[in-house]
Structure 1
Amino acid sequence: MRGAAIVLTKKEAAEAVRHAKAVTGVTWAQLSESVGRPLAWTTAALLGQHPMSKDEAASAAVLLELGEDAALAFQSQPTRGALDSAVPVDPTVYRLYEVIQVYGPTVKELIHEQCGDGIMSAINFRLDVQRVPDPAGDRVVITLDGKYLPYQWE
């Protein structure tokens, strides 16, 4: 009988990924290329927000020098959007939260004016993060690209 793999949670697997990245020097871009998925999707998956296929999980685990326990956790269904607290305390994550607090109502109004009564999907979604040189100091450009979904009142 084969020995059972240690069962890791998505959160434990994400911590193992962070540790393995530090030890191996593997980048998110290298992981994305190995897995064959977009950079933001791969990063989110390895941080516990998406389930990976068996092949994707195996590729990531091999590159990170992690075991089958991590590969199994990469494949499990996540609890999406789980933060450690209602208001994030990490400065980078908090600033994104602040952006939504300040500009969320504006984005909502503009979506409704330009598209109608509906929402931007976070399921059919693309994300990109770019560093852009600027004479006054580099800028961070975050693109949130979600499918428009109209409300259907039947």
Structure 2
Amino acid sequence: MTTKYTPGALYLAGFTQARSPHIGLLFAKDATKGTLFHIRIDRQTSSHWQFQRRTQLITGDMFLSSLLRITKEPLALDIAENTIEKIALRIPPPENGDFGECAPWALELVQALYEEGIVELLDVDQLGEEVDSFAKESRAYARRDKFPNLATSNFCR
């Protein structure tokens, strides 16, 4: 099945980094941008993870390398962002500065979206393995002149 980038869909976004991919949840808004929900550490102001919601360019970002679609049908644009943010804010970021906490947090968000009936999740552990593998395999897409590698999850419907 061919995957196409679809406004209104939810994706687990993989960003290529030196050690392993950074993972966040992307709500696709239009053909050029989406809203990213993720946790990050700003070492200049903090030593632990913090939630962030921000606009994410889809094209022209040299770190965004993969988008794994986790919803079958697009979500309503007018309510999705605020609903996702409210759910994301219920999931506390880890109170440490350990590397690699972003994917478990993003998967916990997907689990919460499933519990709210927004995502049809079959297996969160297998989804975690799938997104990690897909993001690692997509390193070649980490270029400004390439669209991120697209796929549809086998563990969400």
Q: TM-score range by the shorter chain?
A: under 0.3
Greater share of helix = 1
Q: Could you state the TM-score of these two structures normalised by the residue count of structure 2?
A: 0.27
Q: Could you state the TM-score of these two structures normalised by the residue count of structure 1?
A: 0.28
Higher Rg of the two aligned structures: 1
Higher relative contact order (CA closer than 8 Å, sequence separation 6+): 2
Greater share of strand = 2
